[in-house]
Chains A and B, each alone.
Chain A
Amino acid sequence: MQRRRILKLIAGVAVSVLSGGVARAARVVANFRFVRPPGALPEHEFTSACIGCGLCAQVCPNRAINYFSPGAGKKANTPYIVPRTKACILCMKCGAACPTGALKKITRNAESIVQNVKMGHARVDKTLCLSYQGKTCGVCYRACPLQDRALKVGMLEQPEVLGECVGCGICERSCIQIPQAIKVIPTHLATA
């Protein structure tokens, strides 16, 4: 009798603790806008190639990379970047560290980055952008690591995204307007 009661107690505690954890895991579903780290394979290949080792985040000097929890299904334990929280600084260390080739190894120079990195593409919302509203801003252009290749500014610092934008998200990170007038549209959303 004693034994049964103790077992019941332990089982009860275990179930309550676990259900809390499971609920938390289930809540964190991938319903927010994220980009994959630079050099990622196409989305379905990426989720199958990634083994969830966590190395890419451990070498990221900007602490930009985070991971999905098991509630995210196929995406579980795979890395993502939310540009507004922390943007990629295109250092290319994650690709060098990735042991499975889910992130390609890319040398760190502008040519190779422009050719190989396709995290997403920035888009300017002209109804929100301060420069288009007559208040000269240009912060995104100043922040862009690929100035005049990915982003150029015209009259009154009005930004215009060019074809070579790699979607690093530093413009979105730096935009002083709330909500952000320039946002990265992730590649996996654009192609889907």
Chain B
Amino acid sequence: MTVIPLQKKLNYLRWVALATVFSMLLLIPFLYLYQTFVAAHAYDYLSSYEKLVYKFGEFVSSPFTSDPKEALDALKGTTWIGRLFGLDLADPLAAVANTAASKRFYWPLWTMALIPIGLTLVFGRFFCGWLCPATFIYELNDNMGAWLRKLGVPVSRRRLNRSMKYFVLAVGIAWSVLMGVTVFSWIYPPLLIGRELNYAITLGGFGAGMVFFVLTLLFDLLVARRGFCRYLCPGGALYSLLGHFRLLRVQRKAEICNDCAKCNAVCQFGLSPLTDRFTQECNNCTACIQVCPTDALSFALRIQDQPYQGPGHLGRHYARHRHDGEVPEDGKTAQLAASTGSGRI
């Protein structure tokens, strides 16, 4: 076993990261409310609910700062645009959309997007798997879909064309240029989650963006598994393009693979680790690494996927083909393995 055991645990770490980002999006609006209460010297005039918010804010921030009114400005925003302990960060899609809509190059925004772009060049579409607050909900939604399937409720697993999301990205940019509006801010799920939570907590009620988000949840459940992320998300498209030559990618070691196809079954993005087709869509979520019974999947430093290595050397299909002395056709073995394998879900 050449795999470091740590890599098997990364999927848990990923869930911690997702939950942290999501709870930050809940925490930040409450801290903002606390800030305004402090700024107004208004404790005595608060309602009982607001007093609770005040005490919560005091409890959270008092170990770190004695001046919450100013110091809490270091923690603001969403994953779209955010300030994380004083460090300004922006979603690359925000920079692209702003440049397209306003037709001018506002360099401060691009400098904010620099760190995310750099990380994406190295880690690929990692935002989608590790940080996106919508992914947190979508994965829970997907698990619910698996439960419903078990209970006999029909959950559709259609496969659509992946290049649709690049089309959405292109159309969105064209629309932004023509109409002078940032259209992505209407449909981009991580932004919707962050903003709607902020609206609900600080402005008193969800906005209409929540309607669209619920629609995407239904789409995922009734049409295609993780359908929005796979086929429609413009941010995912941009991250995929940026991550095409990513440095860190999951790779298969054919020598110790037994063709069980659990990796294909667990992959929410519908990719095929079994046939070495990770492609630019892979978000390095490490679910396949965790599920692999022979530890054949692990991270490797490469700028391109390995070409199809043939069936796993521990699998019975491999043995048969070796006797025949023939090379299997691309994909055929995988289908065979997937149909006979004990893939979960």
List, in ascending order, chain A residues with CB within 8 A of B292's CB: none
Is chain A's binding surface mostly helix, strand, loop or mixed?
Answer: helix
List, in ascending order, chain B residues with CB within 8 A of A47's CB: 180-181
Do A99 and B88 touch (CB < 8 A)? Answer: yes
- Which B residues between 179 and 203 are near A, CB-CB below 8 angstroms? 179-182, 185-186, 191, 194-195, 198-199, 202-203
Do A52 and B185 touch (CB < 8 A)? Answer: yes
B: number of interface residues (CB 8 Å) = 52
A101 within 8 A of B: yes
Do A97 and B76 touch (CB < 8 A)? Answer: yes
Cα distance, A67 to B28, chains bound together (Å): 18
Q: Which of the residues B81, B108, B209 comes within 8 Å of A51, measured between beta carbons?
A: B81
Cα distance, A67 to B200, chains bound together (Å): 12
Do B102 and A45 touch (CB < 8 A)? Answer: yes
B80 within 8 A of A: yes
Given contacts A7-B222, A44-B180, A67-B207, contact A53 B80 (CB under 8 A): yes
Do B207 and A61 touch (CB < 8 A)? Answer: no
List, in ascending order, chain B residues with CB within 8 A of A66's CB: 203
A-B contact pairs, 18 of them (CB 8 A): A14-B214, A21-B208, A48-B182, A49-B102, A51-B81, A51-B97, A51-B98, A52-B185, A54-B77, A54-B199, A61-B39, A61-B40, A63-B202, A69-B207, A77-B185, A77-B209, A97-B76, A99-B88
A residues near B, CB below 8 A? 3, 6-7, 10-11, 14, 17-18, 21-22, 24-25, 44-45, 47-55, 57-63, 66-67, 69-71, 74, 76-77, 93, 97, 99-102
Given contacts A62-B36, A69-B208, 9 further A-B contacts (CB under 8 A): A3-B154, A17-B214, A18-B215, A48-B101, A52-B182, A55-B83, A77-B182, A77-B186, A77-B209
